[in-house]
Structure 1
Amino acid sequence: MTDDRPRVLEIRHADSEPPGSYGPPLHDLADVTTLRIWREPAPTDLSGFDAIVTLGGAMGVGDAQRISWIADEIDLLRRALGLGIPIWGVCLGAQMLAAALGGDVYTSTDPEVGIHSVTLNDAAATDPVWGFAAGTALEPAAGTVPTEFDVVQWHFDTFTLPPGATLLASSAMCVNQLYRHGNCYGVQFHLEAGGQLVGEWLDSPGSRSLITETIGAEATDRFAADAADTESVTVPLARTVLTRWLSGLTRG
């Protein structure tokens, strides 16, 4: 390990929820410790980490009464925030981060599943990670960010924007798609998921049945192929934004 590589705690909530397209930049640029929180205790000492990446999962914040580690993770994230440790939250991770920041997480009246368009707003234009406006002081190697893109969505919960957070992107079905709080980011959509990962999620009979009930059999059958079609944009975009975020981390 070299001194300039950030030490990242990656929190997984299920074996079926890996970092996907975030994995290559994460492992290229950081020293990663993976915590499988459903079967491993959450660390009490976070001083050995410079950042946290918390991933997706089929459960929700509202399941805390039957899944004990959900409260443990929210406590971990609150402790990390108190120490000034940056957090990147993905889908469930974004909801966990919102809860840790004082937002409300609740079941959405309209589940957002399938391929949906996400649009960055004016606040994102000069954001250090998601910025797309001409003239922003971002390294050319970090790539570019489109203002609108199609991406995998698979969530039945949503959240209120946490106090002090800045909304950066929305979709037609769900306003709070992307937010920043200091150097933390909550990403509701699955930028990391392509056709293969969506196919693996659908291989579970329970998941396929649930998604079929939500979007219909035809849309479910083409979901993995539609997800594969987004990869020409989402894979380089995942590398761009995570590279920008990791490159901006500094040791305390």
Structure 2
Amino acid sequence: MATQRIRVLELRHAEVETPGAYSTALDELADVETVRAWREPLPDKMTGFDAIIVMGGPMGVGDADAIPWIASEIVFLRDAVAVGIPVWGVCLGSQLLAAALGADVFRGDVPEIGVREVTLNSDGIADPVWGATPSAAFETVQWHFDTFALPAGATLLAGSALYPNQLFRYGNSYGVQFHLEAGGALIRRWLHGESRNEVEAAIGRAAVDRFADDAANAEALTAPLSAAVMRRWLASVATHRPAG
């Protein structure tokens, strides 16, 4: 009997902020329905999917007054977790998940942008999804101005030199602050127009000029690691979803 494919809802917040290298595992194991939050409504019911992937975006939780769908999505994620639907939140997605779990999300002291090192702690090394990482410390793309407090009941798995809360687990849900899925090609797509101007103002033109090349160089590790952790998470989703 063929293995039943996992039904995944992708919540996208900008057209260019795709699942990137996570797609290797998603294409193998899942059927993905994408909802573009800026123009499409959230599903009415918590049925029809087994897991949710929440991608990044240029906005923040603090923009909820100006962007109405942010508050709606936080409530949606809170309801999903409450009924046992696992969530994988990336960058903005991790912040939305943290907010849904009752944690504060706020502007960080400094932007963290570029290819930076993230280090798993002992819980991260023991984690069933992230424990397969070849090394506890690895370089990955960062692109965020905001950060979050660790939600009550969550387990911190990794941090960086600038931001201690980089990766957490809550039940079978994960908040991933960094962009493991982003390689050089995706960063080049992101560095267009106002996005490039904003990043140049934050880290300088020379660092921005290196950014995509640094991301491309990191892909030898980040691309297979993205596929590996996503496969493990999807396998866990398949194991724990209700029969039927």
Once residues 81 and 96 of structure 1 are traced to their aligned partners in structure 2, the CA distance between those partners, rounded to angstroms, is 12
Once residues 214 and 149 of structure 2 are traced to their aligned partners in structure 1, the CA distance between those partners, rounded to angstroms, is 29
Q: What is the number of equivalent residue pairs in this alignment?
A: 239
Q: Identify unmatched segments of 5+ residues in structure 1.
A: 133-143
Secondary structure in 1 aligned to 2:106? strand
Once residues 108 and 91 of structure 1 are traced to their aligned partners in structure 2, the CA distance between those partners, rounded to angstroms, is 13
Q: How far 1:49 sits from its partner (Å)?
A: 1.2
Partners of 1:130 and 1:145 within 8 A in 2? no
Query: Structure 2 matches for 1:156-195, cutoff 5 A?
Result: 156-195=145-184
Q: Identify unmatched segments of 5+ residues in structure 2.
A: none
Partners of 1:130 and 1:241 within 8 A in 2? yes
Secondary structure in 1 aligned to 2:131? coil
Deviations 1:184-206 (A, max 9, x none): 00000000101011111112x21
Once residues 52 and 134 of structure 2 are traced to their aligned partners in structure 1, the CA distance between those partners, rounded to angstroms, is 23
Deviations 1:151-188 (A, max 9, x none): 11000000000000000000001110000001000000
Amino acid at match of 1:41: P
Secondary structure in 1 aligned to 2:200? helix
- TM-score, structure 1 normalization: 0.93
Aligned pair partner of 1:229 in 183, 208, 217: 217
Secondary structure in 2 aligned to 1:248? helix
Partner of 1:135: none
Once residues 122 and 34 of structure 1 are traced to their aligned partners in structure 2, the CA distance between those partners, rounded to angstroms, is 34
Q: How far 1:110 sits from its partner (Å)?
A: 0.9
Aligned pair partner of 2:199 in 196, 211, 227: 211
- TM-score, structure 2 normalization: 0.96
Q: How far 1:36 sits from its partner (Å)?
A: 0.7
Amino acid at match of 1:231: E
Deviations 1:118-137 (A, max 9, x none): 000001122110114xxxxx
Once residues 186 and 145 of structure 1 are traced to their aligned partners in structure 2, the CA distance between those partners, rounded to angstroms, is 20
Aligned pair partner of 1:150 in 134, 139, 145: 139
Secondary structure in 2 aligned to 1:131? helix
Once residues 154 and 233 of structure 2 are traced to their aligned partners in structure 1, the CA distance between those partners, rounded to angstroms, is 17
